[in-house]
Copies of this chain bind each other. A is one copy, B any other.
Amino acid sequence: MKLSTRARYAIRVLLDIAARRDEDRPIQLNDVAERTGISRRYLDQIVMPLKSAGLLIGTKGRHGGYQLAKAPEAIYLLDIVEATIGPVNLVECVQSPQTCERSDECPARLLYRLLSASMRTTLTDYTLKDLGTKDVLAQMKQKVEGLEAAL
């Protein structure tokens, strides 16, 4: 039940590109690779679905690279994650009830729906910009520590 490294890398890459957005020119993958510590070749694969999903714009040729396709405050974390690993749900039956014949009456499925839905909700509560905004992060930390303390 782990989040794949691809998804985590995708977030890391977009954070890197977003942080350099003021320079207003394409960021090259070679640079991103160096800063993030992700292999250049692997980066190609991380970036591909982000481009297909309309989160990044690629420019070829000399001085080419990648730029955000939208403002960071318009990029929800759910967009990033779902672009790289597909629909967010903990069990297949959440999305496709027909994969299990008794999904109608299954109490566990309700639980899986709840878990999945609240993950998705959290991921739409925050944007790429939020992860670079001190205030939001501080407030997020409060929330986390509250939850962790209650366990």
Contacts and interface: CB of A to CB of B under 8 A. Distances in A.
Contacts of A124: 151
Contact of A2 (B77, B92, B126): B92
Please state the number of chain copies in the assembly: 2
Chief secondary structure at chain A's binding surface:
helix
Task: Report which residue of A112, A119, A121, A137 has the largest number of chain B beta carbons within 10 angstroms of its beta carbon.
Answer: A119
A117 interface: yes
A151 B120 contact: yes
Interface in A24-45: none
Interface residues of A, number: 43
B131 A8 contact: no
Nearest to A1: B3
10 contacts: A1-B1, A1-B2, A2-B91, A111-B131, A113-B148, A114-B122, A114-B140, A115-B123, A118-B119, A120-B147
